[in-house]
């Protein structure tokens, strides 16, 4: 497979952009090799600058549930762009998207649009702190809620602890109010509530973890969080930036029937354009300016192009489409399992709706520690074995694969043919 042009561009890019990229995982550090420079995308395919075509399972990190350049989204964008790109004033389009989201997420009585998932979580937790008059936030190890300083915390020693900065440039004071517990560990959460009575403003959780690979909540975990937060006067914040409109029409909260106080959204609701949103109980959201004392604003928030792409995307998400996604993703997961077994490669495959992960391990994966202990070097080899066979997987073992509505039975069959060879290759 030719990658000459990507190699040239990557060499030049590294002279002008850190790592040659605009976001770290794109640099292929976790799998090695040269990131492919993408020229265009259409349906299930990505095309790189060397003329290679790949069946794409990254889908702009979960944003593209309809695949690349879906005609309805392109049409909506064309129409919107003629009317202007940004007004810094209210529009009917943002109102329509807000109403559509509220219809799908009964817990969201009011919503505010922002420009990224990072802004959504940062702002939602500002509201939680204001509402409770408390300062501590509890998050889970290996979760990713964007790159706000206080959320770039990792666990210290011990099972459930104060956070330590997970990035240079984050002063320890910024994360001293961030508590970190292992995912799926209710006892650790309960222990933190005991240790810090009346101090925890909110628990923020990816209801299906997607940033340590896909790790589903154990039965009772989300219910337990709902119960503990309620009992201790804290808020429950679901970060559904990935899972919102992904694991079902009502996100993970619809799937597991849990009602959080606040929800963060992003990705799919922008149809591939920059977006984020946070929403929830009206009494909480009315704390946000201009109604309430919590300040939060944005020059490009509610951008008409993002609103148009988001609306056009959500319009396509029918029950039939979710059924089709479920079936295709199940077919893929089953096929991968069979292919790995045939090759004698131990794997654990996790899937919730159209998001899935292949962990190279025999052991159970329930949290960040167990996800990190999988054979990541083998994933890197598998990734390249697939890439050279025209299948584009996430360039990291700790990221989710996404099936889109553009993936057909034929794409899945071809992916599985490649996977049978790739598993045999990495078995050696």
**Active-site annotation holder among 177, 239, 261, 375:** 239
Cα separation, 381 vs 422, whole angstroms: 8
Site map 146..175 versus ligand PLP, x via CB under 6 A: x-----------------------------
**Residue among 210 and 335 whose Cβ is closer to ligand PLP:** 210
Is 50 a catalytic site residue?
no
Report yes or no: 402 and 319 within 8 Å, Cβ to Cβ: no
Which residues share a beta bridge with 56?
392
DSSP state letters, 402-427: E--TT--HHHHHHHHHHHHHHHHHHH
Contacts of 303 (CB under 8 A, 6+ apart): 85, 86, 115, 273, 274, 275
Q: Is 144 in the site for ligand PLP (CB under 6 A)?
A: yes
Please identify which residue in 145, 350, 378, 389 interacts with ligand PLP, judged by CB under 6 A. 145
Q: Binding to ligand PLP by residue 229, rule CB under 6 A?
A: no
The stretch near ligand PLP (CB under 6 A) out of 183-191, 235-243, 247-255, 338-346 is 235-243
Residues 45, 54, 144, 392: which is the catalytic one?
Answer: 144
Give the strand pairing for 262-266 and 235-239.
parallel
Q: How far is the CB of 151 from ligand PLP (least distance, A)?
A: 9
**Rg over CA atoms, the chain:** 21
Note if 144 is an active site residue: yes
Phi, psi of 149 (to 5 degrees): -50, -50
Least gap, CB of 145 to ligand PLP (angstroms): 5
Interface with ligand PLP, residue 206, by CB under 6 A: yes
- The CB-of-313 to ligand PLP minimum distance in angstroms stands at 15
Which 110-139 positions form the footprint of ligand PLP (CB under 6 A)? Answer: 116-118, 121
Cβ-based neighbours of 366, under 8 Å, separated by 6 or more: 183, 184, 215, 218
H or E element at residue 385: helix 376-387
Q: Does 192 bind ligand PLP (CB under 6 A)?
A: no
**Distance (Å, whole) CA 257 – CA 75:** 35
**What's the order of all strands across the beta sheet hosting 391-392?**
38-42, 45-48, 53-56, 391-392
Looking at the Cβ atoms of 117 and 213, the one nearer to ligand PLP is 117
423 contacts ligand PLP (rule: CB under 6 A): no
Name the β-bridge partners of 96.
Answer: none
Options 141-149, 179-187, 194-202, 326-334: segment touching ligand PLP (CB under 6 A): 141-149
Of the pair 211, 301, the CB lying nearest ligand PLP is at 211
* Burial classification of residue 171, based on how many CB atoms lie within 10 Å of its CB (0-12 exposed, 13-18 middle, 19 or more buried): exposed
One symbol per residue from 75 to 104: x for binding ligand PLP (CB under 6 A), - otherwise; what is it?
------------------------------
For ligand PLP, the binding residue among 242, 277, 340, 358 (CB under 6 A) is 242
Q: Which residues pair with 47 in a beta bridge?
A: 40, 53
Which residues are marked as active site?
A: 144, 239, 267
Q: Enumerate binding residues for ligand PLP (CB under 6 A).
A: 61, 116-118, 121, 144-146, 206, 210-211, 239, 241-242, 266, 276
């Amino acid at each position: 497979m030719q990658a000459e042009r990507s190699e040239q561009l990557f060499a030049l890019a590294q002279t002008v952009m850190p790592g040659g990229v605009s976001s770290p995982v794109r640099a292929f550090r976790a799998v090695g090799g040269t990131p492919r420079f993408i020229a265009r995308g259409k349906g299930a395919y990505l095309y790189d600058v060397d003329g290679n075509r790949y069946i794409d399972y990254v889908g702009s990190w979960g944003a593209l549930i309809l695949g690349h350049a879906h005609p309805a989204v392109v049409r909506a964008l064309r129409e919107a762009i003629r009317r202007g790109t940004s007004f810094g004033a209210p529009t009917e389009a943002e109102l329509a998207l807000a109403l559509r989201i509220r219809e799908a997420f009964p817990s969201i009585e009011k919503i505010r649009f922002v420009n990224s998932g990072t802004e959504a979580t940062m702002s939602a937790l500002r509201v939680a702190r204001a509402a409770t008059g408390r300062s501590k936030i509890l998050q889970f190890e290996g979760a990713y809620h964007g790159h706000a300083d206080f959320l770039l915390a990792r666990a210290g020693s011990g099972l459930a602890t104060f956070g330590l900065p997970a990035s240079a440039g984050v002063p320890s004071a910024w994360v001293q109010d961030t508590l970190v517990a292992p995912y799926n560990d209710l006892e650790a959460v309960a222990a933190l509530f005991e240790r810090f009575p009346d101090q925890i403003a909110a628990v923020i959780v990816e209801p299906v973890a997607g940033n340590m690979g896909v790790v589903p909540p154990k039965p009772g975990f989300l219910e337990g969080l709902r119960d503990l937060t309620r009992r201790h006067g804290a808020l429950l914040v679901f970060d559904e930036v990935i899972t919102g409109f992904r694991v079902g029409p009502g996100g993970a909260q619809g799937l597991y029937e849990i009602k959080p106080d606040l929800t963060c959204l992003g990705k799919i609701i922008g149809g591939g354009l920059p977006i984020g949103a946070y929403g929830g109980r009206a009494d909480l959201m009315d704390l946000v300016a201009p109604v309430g004392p919590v300040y939060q604003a944005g020059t490009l928030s509610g951008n008409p192009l993002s609103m148009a792409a988001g609306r056009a995307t959500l319009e396509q998400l029918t029950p039939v489409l979710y059924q089709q996604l479920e079936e295709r993703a199940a077919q893929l997961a089953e096929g991968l399992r069979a292919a790995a077994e045939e090759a004698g490669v131990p794997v654990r495959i996790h899937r919730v709706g159209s998001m899935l992960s292949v962990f190279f391990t025999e052991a159970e994966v329930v949290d960040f520690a167990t996800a990190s202990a999988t054979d990541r070097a083998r994933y890197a080899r598998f990734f390249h074995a697939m890439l050279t066979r025209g299948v584009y997987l996430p360039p990291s073992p700790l990221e989710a694969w996404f099936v889109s509505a553009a993936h057909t039975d034929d794409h899945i069959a071809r992916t599985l043919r490649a996977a049978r060879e790739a598993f045999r290759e990495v078995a050696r």
